[in-house]
């Protein structure tokens, strides 16, 4: 029995392109679902932290505030960022309840270093 011929790099890429075109909707759907699950899991994990300003621990109102807006690279939960990028971004933030978050942005509340 003859041994099957190995594909060239170009043939492999062409087969991948054909597979992608034939299964495009399924692949996009699975990737979207996987990314959403990753975002949801991260959101749930980070909702365990109480507000740094008032101590509110209602997970439904916890948001993540960038301490230095000039260092902000992206919104944490906008998409499923790669792990390293995501966690580096989290380190720039503090958890705040929605109420305190608004007050900080309106200069009605200030986080002092001893609160951080």
Q: Which of 80, 93, 94, 100 binds Zn ion (CB under 5 A)?
A: 100
Instruction: Residue 35: count other Cβ atoms within 10 Å of its Cβ.
Output: 13
Instruction: Residue 76: count other Cβ atoms within 10 Å of its Cβ.
Output: 20
Shortest Cβ distance from residue 114 to Zn ion (Å)? 16
Note whether 62 binds Zn ion by CB under 5 A: no
Q: Which of 39, 43, 49, 56 binds Zn ion (CB under 5 A)?
A: 56
Residue 67: which residues within 8 A CB-CB, separation 6 or more? 92, 93, 94, 111, 116
Binding site residues, Zn ion, CB under 5 A: 51, 53-54, 56, 97, 100
């Amino acid at each position: 029995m003859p041994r099957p011929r190995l594909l060239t790099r170009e043939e492999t890429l062409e087969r991948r392109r054909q597979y992608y075109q034939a299964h495009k909707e399924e692949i996009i759907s699975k990737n979207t679902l996987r990314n959403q699950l990753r975002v949801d899991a991260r959101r749930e994990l980070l909702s365990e932290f109480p507000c740094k300003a008032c101590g509110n621990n209602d997970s439904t109102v916890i948001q993540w505030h960038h301490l230095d807006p000039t260092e902000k690279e992206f919104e944490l939960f906008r998409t499923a960022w790669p792990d390293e990028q995501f966690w580096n971004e989290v380190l720039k933030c503090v958890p705040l309840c929605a109420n305190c978050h608004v007050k900080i942005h309106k200069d009605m509340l200030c986080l002092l270093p001893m609160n951080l």
